Amino acid sequence: MQASNYRLECLPSDNMFYVVSPRDIVVARPCDKDDHIAWLLSRRKYVEALADANMHQAELKRHKVIDIGELYLNSLIQAEKYRTLVI
């Protein structure tokens, strides 16, 4: 494979990008708030995820503030950090 075998295509209406080669097509899209929340949750940054989700509730499609809060509470209980639970 040579660099000339690859092409970058874009569909502005769908906000999608495609890297096309003779063997593959890779689809890419810009990250959204749900992606950022998922990234924070995968790193167990529950406080940041909860704050970000709370500020951008209208933009979220896959995540809910209450679910993130539940994940955070469960993580505190599993870590036996009961004092943190008292607000």
Q: Are 50 and 70 in contact (CB under 8 A)?
A: no
In angstroms, the Cα distances linking 26 to 15, 23, 56 are: 14, 10, 29
Chain-centre distance of CA 78, in angstroms?
24
pLDDT at 85 over 70: no
Both structure tokens of 64: 């809910």
For the whole model, what pTM was predicted?
0.73
Q: What are the extents of the domains in the chain?
A: 1-30, 33-85
| pLDDT digits 0-9 by tens, 64-73 | 999 999 999 9
Q: What is the pLDDT of residue 82?
A: 78
